[in-house]
Chains A and B, each alone.
Chain A
Amino acid sequence: MIWVEILSRHKELIGRSRHNAENGTLSIGRGYNNDVIVDDACVAPQHVLLRRDDRGLWTVEDRGTQNGMFDSRGLRHTRLVLLNGDTLFRIGHTWLRVRTTDFPVAPERQLLPPQRLWPWLLLLATLAFGISALEIWSNQIGEFRASLYLMPIVSLLMTLVIWISLWAGLSRLLSGAANFARHALIALSGLTAALLLGALFSWGAFAFSARPLVDYNFAMYWLVFGVTCFYHLRAISPRLLRLKAVIIAALCIAAITVQWLVKDPFSPHQGNSANHPYLKDLWPPAMRVIAPQPQDRFFRNLEKIKTDLDELRKKEPEGEGMFDMILEGDD
Chain B
Amino acid sequence: MKILVGYKRVVDYNVRIQVKPDGSGVVTDGVKLSANPFDDIALEEALRLREKGVADEVIVVAIGPTDLTAHLRNGLAMGANRAIHVTTTEAVQPLTAARVFLKLVEQEQPGLVILGKQAIDDDANQTGQMLAALWDRPQATFASKLEIADGKATVTREVDAGLEVIEAELPAVITTDLRLNEPRFIKLPDIMKAKSKPIATIELASLGVESHDHLTTTHYAPPAKRSKGVMVKDAAELVAALKQKGLL
> Do chains A and B interact in one complex?
no
A interface, CB within 8 angstroms of B: none
B interface, CB within 8 angstroms of A: none
